[in-house]
Amino acid sequence: MASTRGCSGGGTPHKPPILGSNGHVLHESTSCAAYLMTRGLPADRILKEVSSYDTVGNAFFSLTIHALPAGWRKVAVVTSNFHMPRTRCLFQDMWSRAAVDILKQPEGFELCFASASDEGLFEDDVLLARQQPSAQVNRAGP
């Protein structure tokens, strides 16, 4: 069975949106989908999520728009190295709660996490500044 790729993210709340050549908002997930198609992935194998504007939204809307309705139980989450600690924490917490509360199955989801290099993503000083908050993620208890 061919795998489907989900591209998550509408943008970020603390920056103005990026506009495409048509003047409309260019969502992060649309950019991700375009990249995957240039690498040969057919458009019908790509699902987009354009509702989120932060990592909490990425976890929630990927779960509620795609994973739960489609019955997905194995999901790979890919993000940058600096963003991985926050992403892993939020996805594990939210999806494990959904497994128990909605699916009534404590082992309801198998999440695999892969991070991509931060090289070239930001200038060194910007990357250092952005790493600080991600390193200080506190996991909230039930």
Q: pLDDT tens, 113-126? A: 998 887 877 777 77
Answer whether residue 138 shows pLDDT above 80.
Answer: no
Cα-trace Rg, the chain = 16
> Stretch 30-34: mean pLDDT, rounded?
84
Please give the Cα distance from 32 to 8 (Å, whole number).
Answer: 8
* Per-residue confidence (pLDDT) for residue 141, from 0 to 100: 47
Query: Across the chain, how many H-helices and E-strands are there?
Result: 5, 4
Higher-confidence residue: 20 or 47? Answer: 47
Read off the pTM.
0.74
Q: pLDDT tens, 5-14? A: 555 554 555 5
Answer whether residue 1 shows pLDDT above 50.
Answer: no
Length of the chain counted residue by residue: 142
Please give the Cα distance from 24 to 121 (Å, whole number).
Answer: 24
